[in-house]
Amino acid sequence: MTAGGAQAEAALAVIQSAAQEFGWVSDWVQEAAPSAVETAAQSGAAVIVLDGPELERGARAIAGNYPEAYFIGLHPGEGDLPANMLAFGAPRYDQVGFIAGMIAGLTTKTKFVTGIGDPHSAEGLKYLNGFAHGVRYACPKCRIEGIDVTIQSSPTGQTAVVYAISGCDVFFAAPGAAGKEALVAAAQEGAWVIGSDRDTPLTLFGGQAPEAEKVLTSVYLDPGAALRSALAAFQAGAPPKGRQPLSASTGAIRLAPYNAPLEVFSALDRQVIATALGRLADGSLDTGIDPATGEEK
């Protein structure tokens, strides 16, 4: 197996773990050139992991000559793919927001929750509209407010404090420094907060401050988990093909461990979220958000 490019080390850790579990031999080629792809295929590699658009283009050009090899591209791209190639596409930020919204709707006692992000960008809109739809799905009567991180005249931390004092007891923030500022302020006021990073307690509070205990969980995208899922599917004889988004269906949407007692977020609530993730994965549940624009359908 070969990986090359800027994020090769992260992919390598996943590859090495899978190789150890499945009894494979793994290799890491750091040369980010299309010729390295064909060299790997000629050497008999069964799976070739490509970290970089240039490498993906090289694989698309030669994959048909090596039908026994399985190619995995880690970056979004364009164009048709050979039958023996998988490429991960645009992330489903709306699904991340939707699950965070469901968690907020199930947790809130005041029926007042807040989403924090940039509603003027497609990415921010996907997070925020996904969050709103998730809240409504779990708590139809909940009040939903938003904090626009692009409004400089109203600092996000101060706005979060005002909302918390007004009764908002759960906050979610899309990635970004301004969102983190609002989450810190909300946690300091005693509200529950939901992050969008793998290690939100550490990134917000260094893992030490008492407010870190107010991080309910994080809902985040993990490309490595999607790669791990694809490798496991290959081992099972059913490798996914074509362009597939980083989404629930590819195993890329992850939850950090819950940090709330069962009286705040019950075992039943946790099962509801697990079921929702499964339904997003199999397509029986839709966020109601256009995954390309972030607009409501």
Strand order in the sheet with 253-255: 143-148, 112-117, 170-173, 192-195, 215-221, 253-255
Which pLDDT tens digit goes with each residue over 248-293? 999 999 999 999 999 999 999 999 999 999 999 999 999 999 999 9
Domain that holds residue 31: 8-89+223-245
Check pLDDT > 80 for residue 111.
yes
Assess if residue 185 is contained within a domain. Answer: yes
Which pLDDT tens digit goes with each residue over 168-211? 999 999 998 889 999 999 999 999 999 998 887 777 777 667 77
Q: Determine the Cα angle at 116 with ends 281 and 143, to 5°.
A: 85
The total number of structural domains in the chain stands at 2
Assess if residue 79 is contained within a domain. Answer: yes
Kindly list the distances between the CA atom of residue 145 and the CA atoms of 132, 163, 281, in Å, as whole numbers in the listed order: 9, 9, 28
- Asked whether residue 131 falls in the same domain as residue 159, the answer is yes
- Asked whether residue 57 falls in the same domain as residue 102, the answer is no
Check pLDDT > 60 for residue 82.
yes
Predicted local confidence at residue 5, as pLDDT: 44
Predicted local confidence at residue 123, as pLDDT: 95
Which parts of the chain are beta strand (E)? Answer: 47-50, 70-73, 85-89, 112-117, 143-148, 170-173, 192-195, 215-221, 242-245, 253-255
- Asked whether residue 278 falls in the same domain as residue 142, the answer is yes
- Asked whether residue 52 falls in the same domain as residue 100, the answer is no
Predicted local confidence at residue 35, as pLDDT: 84
Predicted local confidence at residue 272, as pLDDT: 98
CATH number (domain holding residue 132): 3.40.50.2300
Predicted local confidence at residue 206, as pLDDT: 74
- Asked whether residue 216 falls in the same domain as residue 270, the answer is yes
- Asked whether residue 40 falls in the same domain as residue 107, the answer is no
Which pLDDT tens digit goes with each residue over 217-253? 999 999 999 999 999 999 999 999 999 999 999 999 9
Averaged pLDDT, 3-18: 72
Q: What is the pTM of this model?
A: 0.91
Predicted local confidence at residue 26, as pLDDT: 83
Residue 3: pLDDT band (50, 70, 90) is: very low
Check pLDDT > 90 for residue 122.
yes
